[in-house]
């Protein structure tokens, strides 16, 4: 979860500094890839799921998944 500032009209996270009047705060969920621990995706309008799906197709992610599967198979 990430504590973010939301625009009172659009309900979208605000990135600008200084913050405008009427900004409210909210906890926003984030998506973390458990295989690629450095990857963290913050929700946005219609983009987070798309970006995370693209991440799942990246070769670096697929390699991390393969390494995890080999490690799990060795334990079994």
Query: Taking the domains of the chain in order of start, what are their residue ranges?
Result: 2-75
What's the whole-number average pLDDT of the chain? Answer: 79
Residue 41 Ramachandran class (φ > 0 left, ψ -120 to 50 alpha, else beta) = beta
pLDDT of residue 37: 80
Residue 47: pLDDT band (50, 70, 90) is low
Residue 48: pLDDT band (50, 70, 90) is low
- The single-letter DSSP state of residue 27 is E
Determine the Cα–Cα distance for residues 70 and 36; give it in Å rounded to an integer.
16
| Contact of 1 with 28, CB cutoff 8 Å | yes
With a pLDDT cut of 70, the percent of the chain lying above it is 66
Q: Is the pLDDT of residue 60 over 80?
A: yes
Element (H, E) at 13: none
pLDDT of residue 57: 93
């Amino acid at each position: 979860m990430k504590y973010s500032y939301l625009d009172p009209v659009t309900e979208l996270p605000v990135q600008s500094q200084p913050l405008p009047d009427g900004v409210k705060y909210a906890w926003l969920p984030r998506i973390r890839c458990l295989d690629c621990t450095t990857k963290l995706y913050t929700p946005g309008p219609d983009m987070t799921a798309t970006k995370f799906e693209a991440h799942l197709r990246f070769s670096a992610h697929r390699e991390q998944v393969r390494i995890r599967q080999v490690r799990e198979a060795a334990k079994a």
